[in-house]
Structure 1
Amino acid sequence: MTSVDSRLRGPRSPEQRKHEALERLTRDNDVWVATADATGEPCLVPLAFWWDGETVWLSTRVTNPTGRNLSATGKVRLCFGHTRDVVLVHGTARMLTREELPVEVGDAFAAKDGWDPREDHPSYVFFQVIPEVLQAWGTVPEMNGRTLMREGTWLV
């Protein structure tokens, strides 16, 4: 369903938003990843991802700002979709080297994206993002009730 459809019929129910958020996590290829360093300097980059049904897997070089920030703080915000149909995840990330990564996770990540970081530059690592808060909304009428997950527990 498009956000135009939802505007014509009014706000979606929380259950419908959860369903559509999970569909987006399954089918989208890229996500905006927001982090910050110890001084608060923000960093926003698009990355490929894989959703395993419970957590989001990312891969980036441990030497770039996003990799350094995630390694240092573990704090991340992920934004899926566009401004009129957004899924926003606040989560905690843990780093895994390619040697620590379960083979099935690496294989699924590579199959979804068509790119295998394990075969790229040695500085690539993986981050498992555990969602703590998940919000989904389209337009202003959906701002109420946009929080669908809190403290890692679905509210819907």
Structure 2
Amino acid sequence: MTAAEAHPDGPRSIEQRRREALERLARDIDVWVATADADGEPTLVPLTFWWDGETVWLATRDTNPTGRNLRASGRVRLCFGHTRDVVLIHGTARTLTHDELPAGVGDAFTAKDGWDPRGSGPSYVWFQVTPEVIQAWGTVPEMTDRDLMRDGKWLVQGD
């Protein structure tokens, strides 16, 4: 895909990128999840997610590398989209068991994604990712203003 194909009208405004990033969070089903262990060994896996309007919800086994890394450090990067239209979230994750899950989260996750981790056994836990930084860009001309959120605060207001 060329830059012109990705964004035929040229670089998008930061307001448009915020709007489109939020649309992607509401629409997409899967996200690339990047974590690292204490030795810095990286792990990158796709996981199903649900965006509640403020945080990203993930579910995976607490025994796999991603689950162990999220529990140990709470640090995560999430990548949505493709290289010519990417939304990148740097965030912190907190771990919740099925019993600790707030009312409505499991049902909303299942309704969006068609899979209910609550029926997959006790090794599945939930991770609530709170964004600290959200970036969105498509091509080099958009990289200058790619930060939409910094320190958990939106830099540009929405509609």
Residue in 2 that maps onto 1:150 = 150
Residue in 2 that maps onto 1:78 = 78
CA distance in 1, matches of 2:4, 2:48: 27
- Give me the TM-score of the superposition, normalised by structure 1: 0.96
Question: After the TM superposition, which residues 3-152 of structure 1 pair with which residues of structure 2 at under 5 Å, given as runs?
Answer: 4=4, 7-152=7-152
Provide Cα deviations, 1:8-42, integer angstroms capped at 9, x if missing partner.
32210000000000000000000000000000000
- Is the CA contact (8 Å cut-off) linking 1:6 and 1:12 kept in structure 2? no
- Give me the TM-score of the superposition, normalised by structure 2: 0.94
Q: CA deviation at 1:102?
A: 1.5
- Is the CA contact (8 Å cut-off) linking 2:132 and 2:150 kept in structure 1? yes
CA distance in 1, matches of 2:82, 2:100: 33
Specify every segment of 5 or more residues in structure 1 that has no aligned partner in the other structure, as ranges.
none
Q: CA deviation at 1:6?
A: 5.7
Q: Secondary structure of the equivalent of 1:149? A: strand
- Is the CA contact (8 Å cut-off) linking 1:133 and 1:149 kept in structure 2? yes
Q: Secondary structure of the equivalent of 1:103? A: coil
CA distance in 1, matches of 2:6, 2:85: 10
Identity of aligned residues (%): 75
Provide Cα deviations, 1:23-79, integer angstroms capped at 9, x if missing partner.
000000000000000000000000000000000000000000000000000000000
Aligned-partner residue type, residue 150 of structure 1: R
Q: Which runs of 4+ in 1 moved over 6 A?
A: none
What is the number of residues matched between the two proteins?
154
CA distance in 1, matches of 2:13, 2:146: 10
